[in-house]
Amino acid sequence: MNELNGKIAAVTGAASGIGLASTEAMIAAGATVVLVDRDERALNEVCARLGAGAIPLVLDLLNAEKCASLLDGILSKVGHLDILHANAGTYIGGDLVDADLDGIDRMLNLNVNVVIKNVRTVAPHMIERGTGDIVVTSSVAGHSAIPWEPVYSPSKWAMHCFVQTMRRQLLKNGIRVGSVSPGPVISALLADWPEENLRKAKEAGALIEPKEVADAIIFMLTRPRNVTIRDVVVLPSAFDI
């Protein structure tokens, strides 16, 4: 325990799901975490429960101006940043012909553009310090073309490419970049799954808990500095993809 003692992290989409589990795991390992989320009420409730190691930063990352202020917001509350977990994202499943056009824009903006902009915003700070860790929440859908996810799956393929390009760009600066790619996780995002797929997954036990993804993130962050875990795929054992 306390493997992250003294480290300062920021987690986007931190008020629920994988982001919350990642936050809890980092705090348990000794880190101070700035929780970034647009849901002020949920954020305040979570931070009150987690105590002094949890610092709220209310931010709507889909607002371009506010998104650009991410690092300034973090540094207004803590002295520096060691770890960014770029986790915020959303989901669209089902047939493309049924997808809402504005929903497509929102999902691609949050899953792709916001992540790229967040990394762009914090990278100079980490480069100046000569160290840092960036972990992006991707998905097994970024490794396999999921037929019922024609919008979501491409967004995660984009993240797989982005993570590997940035890993190569930043390794000379002492910054590690990697992604965690879960299979289906029990979270609010599954509410948008096709009902039949969700039913089958539940019956087959083909779902995992957010904590199991957070365990993989802690593993990534606690390797010796000469070791980078470039991508971890975390699947329910019964998930047949």
**CB under 8 Å to 115, separation ≥6 — which residues?**
86, 88, 89, 136, 159, 162
**From 152, 181, 210, 232, the catalytic residue:** 152
Annotated active-site residue 91? The verdict is no
Alpha helices in the chain (DSSP H): 17-28, 40-50, 64-68, 70-75, 101-108, 114-129, 152-170, 195-204, 210-221
**Residue 222 dihedral angles phi and psi, to the nearest 5°:** -105, 10
Residues 209 and 187 sit within 8 Å (Cβ to Cβ): no
- For residue 114, the number of C-alpha atoms closer than 13 Å in the C-beta half-sphere is 32
**Closest residue by Cα to residue 10 from 1, 24, 21, 23:** 23
Q: Which residues are catalytic?
A: 152
